[in-house]
């Protein structure tokens, strides 16, 4: 069995069509390629072909390669990022290429009919098409035509089609990728798209996950799934099945790595909840944690050493000025700590720092307020609590 994928990204389509930021296609294709060729992914690196801003002929040839030499049980995945077009007169649908001319769509774009015919000719009975498109009419209808596009004819009993429309191709603060594809990648990478917990991610589950995540945004993005028969249950990812001990260890590793060799109170609560739901004995859980902690001990000692020096520094002045910051940077290099690790340690130190103790005064005990940078006020009081309403 040989699974193959074709990933096509187009962010250069000429002045006649709204273009995505140049480079978006490259980042999007690379990110998707990494997740589907990961250790848990269904594809070998050598079996994934990528095209960035190809012309129409190059795209058609790549689709033909994807569909040939397939066996019945082989998985075939076609992903397209870019503009989808609908011809004004015929209402035929096309995928735009780098050389697409709206006057000559038959030769300068890839028609849905060509795509369907190529996939129909393949022996593979496990086919998935994912189209992350902004849909447009051509010529006089150069605006969003989401409500007019229907891709049901692309689906079959052996093929499922996932697509979307609206504002999907808009880059958001959530990340550098188009939102639809970004959520799709997150669902696979985190395994949260395995909705029913059967250690597999089907097309239907992936669509459901994307729909749920997009529903929480304010953007007008509309996910669609087209399928016939049981094709919506086509499995894209087969995930490892973990025993309770393995599941707990994997989670402990993730949280300790995320917390830089320790566990925050919130992470501790999550792991305790997981241990109880896995029905794992406390002694077993503690033994697993001890094993996971072991390689992190040296790193933890270095982080503790830096944190102690940082605490002493901010007792002198907070935030530290340039001369002390240079000394801290030198210590960071000597301890071989990353910027992310340092940022985490300093944030924790600020949260856990005890308030400075002021020398006792024999005169007035009135509040003393020092405004720093116009953004925060520190009120010190020898005996009584701060009335926060008086601190602007």
CA separation for the pair 291, 105 (Å, rounded):
61
SS3 115: helix
> Model-level pTM?
0.66
For residue 360, pLDDT over 70 is answered with: no
Task: Note the pLDDT of residue 195.
Answer: 86
For residue range 313-331, list pLDDT tens digits in order.
888 888 888 888 888 999 9
pLDDT tens sequence across 104-149: 889 999 999 999 999 999 999 999 999 998 888 765 444 445 446 7
Query: Tell me, what's the pLDDT at 368?
Result: 36
Task: Specify the pLDDT at position 140.
Answer: 47
- Expressed in angstroms, the distance from the first to the final Cα of the chain is 68
pLDDT attached to residue 201: 93
Radius of gyration of the chain (CA): 28
Dump pLDDT digits (tens) for 266-298: 888 999 998 888 888 999 988 988 888 887 777
Percentage of the chain beyond pLDDT 90 is 35
> How much is the pLDDT for 68?
93
Q: Is 69 left (phi over 0), alpha (psi -120 to 50) or beta?
A: left
CA-CA distance, 196 to 44, in Å (whole number)? 26
| Spatial contact of 178 and 168, defined as CB atoms under 8 Å apart | yes
pLDDT, one tens digit per residue, over 189-230 is 888 898 887 889 999 999 999 998 887 776 778 899 999 999
Task: Annotate 15-79 with DSSP letters as a single string.
Answer: TTSPPPPTTHHHHHHHHHHHHHTSTTSSS-GGGEEEEES--HHHHHHHHHHHHSS--TT-EEEEE
pLDDT surpassing 80 at residue 13:
no
Among candidate residues 284, 293, 302, 373, the one with its CA nearest the CA of residue 342: 302
Q: How far is CA 101 from CA 96, 116, 143, 280, in A?
A: 9, 22, 16, 62
Measured distance CA(144)–CA(286) in Å, rounded = 56
| CA distances in angstroms from 123 to 159, 230, 326, 330, listed in the order given | 12, 17, 65, 62
Q: Name the residue with higher pLDDT: 97 or 168.
A: 97
H-type helices in the chain, by residue range? Answer: 24-36, 56-67, 105-108, 112-121, 179-189, 203-215, 244-258, 265-277, 282-293, 297-316, 322-335, 339-352
Whether 78 contacts 35, CB under 8 Å: no
Find, among 230, 219, 223, the residue nearest to 206 by Cα.
Answer: 223
Which residues of the chain are in CATH 3.40.50.1460 domains?
4-238
Averaged confidence pLDDT in the chain: 81
**40 vs 259: CA distance, rounded Å:** 24
Q: What is the CATH number of domain 4-238?
A: 3.40.50.1460
pLDDT score of 322? 86
pLDDT of residue 238: 86
Task: State the CB neighbour count (10 A cutoff) for residue 55.
Answer: 16
């Amino acid at each position: 069995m040989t699974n193959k994928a074709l990933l096509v990204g187009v962010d250069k389509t000429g002045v006649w069509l709204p273009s995505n930021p140049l480079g978006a296609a490259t980042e999007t294709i690379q990110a998707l390629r990494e997740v589907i060729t990961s250790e848990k992914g269904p594809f070998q690196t050598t079996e994934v072909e990528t095209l960035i801003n190809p012309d129409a002929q190059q795209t058609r040839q790549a689709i033909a390669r994807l569909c040939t030499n397939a066996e019945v049980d082989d998985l075939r995945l076609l992903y397209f990022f870019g503009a989808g077009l609908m011809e004004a007169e015929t209402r035929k649908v096309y995928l735009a290429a780098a050389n697409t001319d709206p006057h000559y769509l038959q030769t300068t774009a890839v028609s849905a009919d060509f795509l369907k015919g190529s996939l129909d000719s393949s022996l593979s009975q496990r086919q998935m098409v994912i189209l992350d498109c902004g849909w447009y009419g051509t010529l006089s209808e150069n605006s969003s035509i989401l409500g007019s596009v229907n891709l049901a004819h692309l689906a079959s009993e052996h093929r499922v089609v996932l697509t979307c429309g609206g504002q999907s191709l808009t880059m958001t603060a959530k990340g550098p990728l188009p939102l639809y594809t970004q959520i799709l990648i997150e669902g696979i990478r985190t395994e949260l798209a395995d909705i029913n917990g059967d250690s597999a991610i089907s097309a239907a589950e992936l669509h459901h996950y994307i729909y749920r995540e997009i529903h929480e945004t304010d953007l007008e993005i509309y996910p669609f799934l087209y399928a016939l028969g049981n094709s919506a249950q086509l499995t894209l990812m087969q995930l490892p099945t973990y025993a309770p001990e393995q599941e707990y260890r994997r989670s402990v590793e993730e949280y300790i790595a995320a917390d830089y060799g320790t566990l925050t109170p919130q992470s501790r609560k999550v792991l305790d909840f997981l241990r109880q739901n896995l029905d794992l004995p406390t002694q077993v859980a503690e033994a697993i944690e001890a094993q996971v902690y072991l390689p992190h001990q040296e790193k933890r000692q270095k982080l503790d050493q830096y944190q102690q020096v940082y605490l002493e520094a901010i007792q002198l002045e907070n935030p530290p000025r340039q001369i002390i910051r240079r000394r801290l940077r030198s210590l960071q290099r000597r301890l071989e700590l990353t910027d992310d690790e340092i940022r985490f340690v300093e944030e924790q130190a600020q949260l856990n720092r005890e308030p400075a103790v002021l020398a006792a005064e024999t005169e007035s005990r009135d509040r003393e307020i020092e405004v720093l940078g116009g953004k925060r006020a520190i009120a010190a009081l020898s005996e009584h609590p701060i009335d926060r309403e008086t601190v602007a």
